[in-house]
């Protein structure tokens, strides 16, 4: 379990993480979601004791990370940037990690196998593709067989096969009862992987709920209606108690499916030019939620 | 969704906690699994032992005739001046390569006690440089002295200061490497660390000699490269320098101060 309490990090007068509190429970995948620059990596670095919180605290199973005598056996982490020396082989990278925490050397071969890079284990990691580097990073995270696993943007740079592999791995780790905390800026990916979501923007928690609840709340759908008799149709549907919003020449109707809307309009003898079910994607929901908190918004054209 | 947070993950076997030497073993593996280490040490040996031998071979005749106004003892560790560069490079890289690659985060995630990380790095670096530096000096002496012996001006290992200069070369190069590592920890950048340390030893150390009067004399004596290097040669080219062990004590104190500052900054800084 990871517990953050009023965790804050400021750099000069810029606040990267602004008093966030959340709990990451064992036995499920918790997605840590936010646009780039929202404070995800800073938070994760504070979890690992790499950055010192300006105020507040974060603990893993009740202890500060730095207080663990063998932290790799308690928390495994994949860091966002590749924390690797390009001149060292994958096997040697895992060997020093194992040595640092008194982990048996046999575990090196186990995790190489687990992530499927045994064949290239003796190559220098500078020659690795992004995907292989990411697999090595995950091997490093799992070397201590830790009850808590923290993955910062694990699918970055992976091909679809690799993405599915990470997704399955995260779910398997959680199914074993481990605490799994995965950051991403991709809502669609988190919807498939995470049981629970902590959404942040501009260093604040915007949502902390189950993925199912988040989807139900934010991924709304509506029926788009276009008609030459725009006003009459709007009046008719409103009289039936439906939520109707006019956007230029179209009406957005909530509360009834396209079939029902079509029948109502047809029975009144009004004309329709368009009747479409519009599902707003999770990505849209995420964008809407975080719209005010995007650090580097592109200029709209 | 059902409550899933109830069953805690349990480890099958519990390994004993890592001993105090775990960080040391990790740094040892790291040190010997990058190519810069064997390269630097090979370069140290070739420059240190090779140039000493070459210079002795070229100057033996002139030295024997008394044409050179320099002591013979200054020649048998001549190459150590150049071997210094490799010790500085190795020392700086031990720290700065981790910052350049982001490795430092993996290191500190594995060993959050930063004092332990620094102590382990220092131990691995200085022990290696001490052994390599001593062997380099010894090989250079054996090679160079062979030519000096042929002219009848060779020095025995038991002659005044000869054995001390062999061990002293190891000590000086170890100290210099540690100095570079400390500067590297402060600036976190390979090129900057190399420029500062090499500039201080090779450029500033010689420039201060032109300062007038007692100022120049003492600045020359106290510059780290000047104070520390006297121990690495039986007799120095520069008569101004402090006595070998006094100079080395000054050098050690200087390195200790820079290392202490670096350690304090390292302990507080975000990785």
Decide: B79 and B49 in contact? Cβ < 8 Å. Answer: yes
pLDDT, position B175: 98
Tokens of residue B256, six digits: 């200790």
Which has the closest alpha carbon to A185: A14, A20, A39, A77? A39
Is A300 a domain residue? no
pLDDT at B181 exceeding the cut of 60: yes
**pLDDT tens digits for B191-215?**
999 999 999 999 999 898 888 888 8
Q: Examine the domain organization and report whether A236 and A110 are in the same domain.
A: no
Q: Examine the domain organization and report whether A92 and A196 are in the same domain.
A: yes
DSSP letter for each residue of A268-295 = TT---SEEEEEEPPHHHHHHHHHGGG-S
Best mutation target among B3, B5, B17, B121 (most A Cβ atoms within 10 Å) is B5
Q: Is B179 helix (H, G, I), strand (E, B) or coil?
A: helix
Is A284 a domain residue? no
Which residue is it, tokens 């691995």? B124
Q: Examine the domain organization and report whether A80 and A125 are in the same domain.
A: yes
**pLDDT tens digits for B15-72?**
666 777 999 999 999 999 999 999 999 999 999 999 999 999 999 999 999 888 888 9
Residues in chain A: 301
Q: Examine the domain organization and report whether A110 and A235 are in the same domain.
A: no
**pLDDT tens digits for B121-147?**
999 999 999 999 999 999 999 999 999
Q: Examine the domain organization and report whether A254 and A238 are in the same domain.
A: yes
Give CA separation, B133 vs A272, B38, B154, B257, in Å.
90, 14, 22, 23
- What rounded mean pLDDT belongs to chain B? 91
- Give the CATH number for residue A274: 3.30.70.1510
End-to-end CA separation in angstroms for chain A? 44
pLDDT, position B5: 40
Q: Examine the domain organization and report whether A143 and A244 are in the same domain.
A: no
Q: Of A217, A245, A265, which residue is a domain's last? A: A217
Give CA separation, A85 vs A52, A163, B22, B26, B262, in Å.
24, 24, 20, 14, 22
Which of A179-188, B86-95, B163-172 has the weakest average pLDDT?
A: A179-188
Q: Of A199, A217, A235, which residue is a domain's last? A: A217
Rg (CA), chain B: 22
Q: State the sign of the Cα–Cα–Cα–Cα dihedral B46, B51, B52, B54.
A: positive
Main-chain phi, psi angles of A18, to 5 degrees: -115, 75
pLDDT at B10 exceeding the cut of 90: no
Best mutation target among B9, B10, B39, B190 (most A Cβ atoms within 10 Å) is B9
Q: Examine the domain organization and report whether A107 and A188 are in the same domain.
A: yes
Tokens of residue B100, six digits: 């350049």
**pLDDT tens digits for A81-113?**
678 899 999 999 999 999 999 999 999 999 999
pLDDT, position B9: 56
Question: Which range marks the domain in which residue A201 is found?
Answer: 2-217
The residues facing A275 across adjacent strands are A225
Cβ of A99 within 8 Å of Cβ of B26? The answer is yes
Tell me the chain B residues in contact with residue A178 when contact means C-beta distances shorter than 8 Å: 9
Cβ of A100 within 8 Å of Cβ of B113? The answer is no
Q: Examine the domain organization and report whether A161 and A262 are in the same domain.
A: no
Domain extents for chain B? Answer: 22-268
pTM: 0.86
Tokens of residue B74, six digits: 């200054």
Is A11 a domain residue? yes
**Which DSSP helix (H) or strand (E) runs through B130?**
helix B114-150
Separation between Cα atoms, residue A228 and residue A271, nearest integer Å: 7
- Give the CATH number for residue A197: 3.40.50.300
Q: Examine the domain organization and report whether A61 and A207 are in the same domain.
A: yes
Is A273 a domain residue? yes
pLDDT at B230 exceeding the cut of 90: yes
Is A299 a domain residue? no
pLDDT, position A298: 57
Residues in chain B: 271
Q: Which of residues 203-222 of A touch B (CB under 8 A)?
A: 210, 212
Q: Which residues of chain A have pLDDT under 70?
A: 80-81, 219-220, 280-282, 292-301
Q: Examine the domain organization and report whether A111 and A27 are in the same domain.
A: yes
Tokens of residue A277, six digits: 């079910």
Q: Examine the domain organization and report whether A191 and A115 are in the same domain.
A: yes
Give CA separation, B259 vs A124, A240, A267, B264, in Å.
32, 79, 87, 9
Tell me the chain A residues in contact with residue B106 when contact means C-beta distances shorter than 8 Å: 79, 83-84, 97, 140
Which has the closest alpha carbon to A117: A86, A85, A148, A140? A140
Cβ of A100 within 8 Å of Cβ of B104? The answer is no
pLDDT, position A140: 96
Complex confidence, ipTM: 0.89
pLDDT, position B18: 76
Tell me the chain A residues in contact with residue B25 when contact means C-beta distances shorter than 8 Å: 99-100
pLDDT at B12 exceeding the cut of 80: no
Is A162 a domain residue? yes
pLDDT at B13 exceeding the cut of 90: no
Q: Examine the domain organization and report whether A191 and A237 are in the same domain.
A: no
Which has the closest alpha carbon to B232: B141, B101, B113? B141
* Total domains in the fold of chain A: 2
Decide: A84 and B106 in contact? Cβ < 8 Å. Answer: yes
């Amino acid at each position: 379990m990871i517990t953050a309490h009023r965790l804050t990090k400021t750099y000069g007068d810029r606040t990267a993480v602004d008093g966030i509190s959340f709990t990451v429970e064992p036995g499920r995948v918790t997605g840590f979601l936010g646009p780039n620059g929202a404070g995800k990596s800073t938070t994760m670095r504070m979890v690992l004791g790499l950055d010192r919180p300006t105020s507040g605290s974060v603990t893993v199973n009740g202890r500060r990370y730095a207080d663990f005598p063998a932290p790799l056996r308690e928390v495994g982490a994949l860091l966002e940037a590749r924390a690797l020396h390009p001149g060292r082989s994958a096997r040697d990278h895992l060997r020093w990690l194992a040595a640092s925490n008194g982990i048996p050397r046999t575990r090196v071969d186990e995790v190489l196998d687990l992530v499927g890079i045994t064949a290239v284990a003796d190559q220098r990691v500078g020659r690795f593709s992004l995907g292989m580097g990411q697999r090595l990073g995950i091997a490093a995270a799992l070397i201590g067989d830790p009850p808590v696993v923290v993955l910062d943007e694990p699918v970055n740079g992976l091909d679809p096969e690799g993405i599915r592999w990470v997704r399955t791995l995260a779910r398997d780790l959680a199914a074993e009862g481990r605490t799994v905390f995965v950051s991403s800026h991709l809502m669609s990916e988190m919807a498939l992987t995470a049981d629970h979501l902590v959404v942040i923007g501009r260093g604040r928690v915007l949502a902390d709920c189950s993925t199912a609840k988040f989807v139900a709340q934010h991924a709304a759908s509506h029926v788009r209606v276009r008609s030459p008799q725009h006003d009459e149709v709007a009046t008719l549907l409103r009289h039936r108690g439906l939520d109707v919003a006019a956007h230029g020449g179209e009406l957005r109707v909530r509360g009834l499916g396209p079939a029902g809307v079509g029948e109502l309009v047809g029975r009144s003898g009004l004309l329709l030019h368009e009747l479409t079910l519009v599902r707003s994607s999770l990505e849209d929901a995420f964008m809407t939620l975080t719209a005010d908190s995007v650090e580097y918004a592109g200029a709209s054209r | 969704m059902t409550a899933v947070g109830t069953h805690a993950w349990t480890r099958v076997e519990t390994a004993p906690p890592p001993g105090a030497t775990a960080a040391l073993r990790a740094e040892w593996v790291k040190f010997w699994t990058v190519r810069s280490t064997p390269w630097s040490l090979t370069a140290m040996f070739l420059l240190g032992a090779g140039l000493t031998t070459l210079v002795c071979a070229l100057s033996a005749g002139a030295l024997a005739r008394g044409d050179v106004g320099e002591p013979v003892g200054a020649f048998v560790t001549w190459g150590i001046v150049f071997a210094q560069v490799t010790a500085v490079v190795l020392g700086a890289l031990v720290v700065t390569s981790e910052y350049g690659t982001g490795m430092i985060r993996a290191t500190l995630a594995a060993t959050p006690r930063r004092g332990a990380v620094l102590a382990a790095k220092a131990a691995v670096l200085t022990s290696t440089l001490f052994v390599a530096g001593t062997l380099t000096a010894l090989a250079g002496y054996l090679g160079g002295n062979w030519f000096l012996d042929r002219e009848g001006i060779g020095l025995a290992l038991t002659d005044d200061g000869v054995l001390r200069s062999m061990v002293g070369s190891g000590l000086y190069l170890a100290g210099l490497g540690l100095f570079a590592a400390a500067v590297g920890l402060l600036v976190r950048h390979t090129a900057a660390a190399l420029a500062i340390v090499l500039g201080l030893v090779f450029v500033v150390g010689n420039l201060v000699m032109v300062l007038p009067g007692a100022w120049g004399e003492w600045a020359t004596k106290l510059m780290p490269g000047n104070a520390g290097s006297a121990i690495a040669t039986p007799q120095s080219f520069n008569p101004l320098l402090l006595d070998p062990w006094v100079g080395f004590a000054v050098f050690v104190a200087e390195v200790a101060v820079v290392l202490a500052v670096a350690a304090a900054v390292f302990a507080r800084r975000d990785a």
